[in-house]
């Protein structure tokens, strides 16, 4: 295991951790949380996968340690804000309250260093505007399960031969036209809704696809996930927003192409 680099930021956003689900990349996430220092940490939904836990109880101690790490960060002065998603929807009943030192909010308005107002929400509200027929939804769920199966075993093989983690499932989705179209529709709907509400940008999760687009000064940021991508969004103290990929080392993602462009040792 490589030594985790130190990540110092004004604000960090993560989402779609899915604790309680077997494909959560809990080892990398724990290393990441152990390496960060920030004023505010946003948990943008689907942190605990209650849907998966209803089907099958899966809660190894490593998943519990993530919750302890979040509490530790909050106890040490980081403002931790939990914005529940659809997989942890019951937590929305506690919006405006605290779980120990962790704040729970249905959504949040965030002001960047440069003065831009960002709407932070999980993103599942956009499902109401998306059109899926019954067969497409079922086949999509089956296909996604199969993608995660391929991703899991491909990376076991890569680990055995000394290769680093690689999101095979993300690569496949990028090259399947139906998946690419759904990602683009979701992104456009988020942008339109945020503009309608008078925001300068939006930060969300939900679709497990990291993206940072600042076209024409409007910010669309999707934090990605810790099932496939292992990504987070950061804002530094000068106001620059960046996406990073973390699987033991930090790899900063290029804002325009969403490809890895700079690796920090």
For residue 98, what are the β-bridge partners?
A: 103
Let me know if residue 80 belongs to a domain. Answer: yes
Phi-psi region of 210 (alpha: psi -120 to 50; beta: other; left: phi over 0): beta
**Is-contact 226 218, C-beta < 8 A?**
no
The residue-averaged pLDDT of 190-201 equals: 97
What integer pLDDT is reported at residue 24 of this predicted model?
94
Q: Of 100-114, 179-193, 195-209, where does mean pLDDT reach its minimum?
A: 179-193
Name which of 127, 120, 139, 48 is nearest 89 in CA terms: 48
- Helix 26-35 × helix 61-75 angle, to 10°: 20
What is the tens place of the pLDDT at every residue in 247-256?
A: 989 999 875 4
Q: The tokens 């080892």 sit on which residue?
A: 27
The residue-averaged pLDDT of 175-197 equals: 87
Mean pLDDT score of the chain, rounded to an integer? 86
- To the nearest whole percent, how much of the chain has pLDDT over 70? 78
| Burial track 218-257 (b if 16+ CB lie within 10 A, e otherwise) | ebbbbbbbbbbbbbbbbbeeeeebbbbbbbbebbebebee
Read off the pLDDT band of 166 (50, 70, 90): low
Let me know if residue 151 belongs to a domain. Answer: no
Higher pLDDT residue, 155 or 223?
Answer: 223
Evaluate if residue 260 carries a pLDDT over 80.
Answer: no
- The structure tokens listed for 225 are 């996930």
For residue 102, what are the β-bridge partners?
A: 99
Higher pLDDT residue, 219 or 179?
Answer: 219
Evaluate if residue 197 carries a pLDDT over 80.
Answer: yes
Report the domain count for the chain. 1
pTM: 0.85
The residue-averaged pLDDT of 101-125 equals: 97
Cα–Cα distance measured from residue 70 to residue 100, given in angstroms and rounded to the nearest whole number: 11
Cα–Cα distance measured from residue 181 to residue 76, given in angstroms and rounded to the nearest whole number: 42
Neighbours of 24 (CB within 10 A): 24
Let me know if residue 171 belongs to a domain. Answer: no
The residue-averaged pLDDT of 29-33 equals: 97
Q: Of 91-95, 140-144, 215-219, 229-233, where does mean pLDDT reach its minimum?
A: 140-144
Name which of 45, 102, 49 is nearest 76 in CA terms: 102
Let me know if residue 139 belongs to a domain. Answer: no
Evaluate if residue 140 carries a pLDDT over 60.
Answer: no
Q: Which residues contact 27 (CB under 8 A, 6 or more apart)?
A: 62
**Which residues span the domain enclosing 78?**
7-122+201-264
Cα–Cα distance measured from residue 231 to residue 78, given in angstroms and rounded to the nearest whole number: 20
Evaluate if residue 65 carries a pLDDT over 70.
Answer: yes
What integer pLDDT is reported at residue 244 of this predicted model?
97
Q: Which residues contact 70 (CB under 8 A, 6 or more apart)?
A: 33, 41, 43, 80, 102
What integer pLDDT is reported at residue 1 of this predicted model?
42
Let me know if residue 36 belongs to a domain. Answer: yes
Let me know if residue 26 belongs to a domain. Answer: yes
Let me know if residue 158 belongs to a domain. Answer: no
The residue-averaged pLDDT of 50-61 equals: 94
* CATH number for 109: 3.60.21.10
Name which of 66, 110, 142 is nearest 239 in CA terms: 110
What is the tens place of the pLDDT at every residue in 88-102?
A: 999 999 999 999 999
Let me know if residue 230 belongs to a domain. Answer: yes
């Amino acid at each position: 295991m490589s030594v985790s680099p130190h990540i110092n930021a004004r604000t960090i956003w993560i989402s779609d951790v899915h604790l309680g689900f077997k494909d959560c990349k809990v080892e990398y996430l724990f290393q990441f949380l152990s390496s960060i220092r920030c004023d505010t940490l946003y948990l943008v939904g689907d942190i605990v996968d209650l849907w998966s836990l209803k089907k099958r109880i899966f809660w190894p101690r490593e998943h519990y340690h993530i919750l302890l790490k979040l509490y530790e960060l909050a106890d040490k002065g980081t403002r931790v804000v939990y914005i529940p998603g659809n997989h942890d929807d019951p937590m929305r009943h506690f919006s405006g309250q605290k779980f120990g030192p962790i704040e729970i909010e249905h959504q949040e308005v965030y002001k960047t260093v440069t003065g831009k107002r960002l709407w932070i929400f999980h993103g599942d509200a956009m499902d109401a505007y998306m059109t899926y027929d019954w067969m497409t939804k079922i086949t999509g769920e089956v296909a996604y399960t199969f993608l995660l199966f391929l991703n899991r075993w491909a990376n076991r093989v890569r680990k055995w031969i000394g290769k680093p983690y690689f999101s095979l499932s993300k690569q496949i989705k990028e090259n399947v036209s139906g998946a690419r179209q759904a990602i683009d529709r979701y992104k456009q709907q988020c942008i339109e809704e945020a503009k309608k509400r008078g925001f300068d940008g939006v930060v969300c999760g939900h679709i497990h696809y990291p993206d940072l687009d600042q076209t024409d000064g409007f910010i669309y940021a999707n934090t990605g996930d810790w099932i496939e991508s292992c990504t987070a969004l950061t804002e530094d103290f000068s106001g620059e927003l960046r996406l990073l990929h973390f699987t033991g080392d930090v790899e900063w993602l290029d804002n325009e192409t969403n490809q890895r462009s700079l690796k920090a040792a």
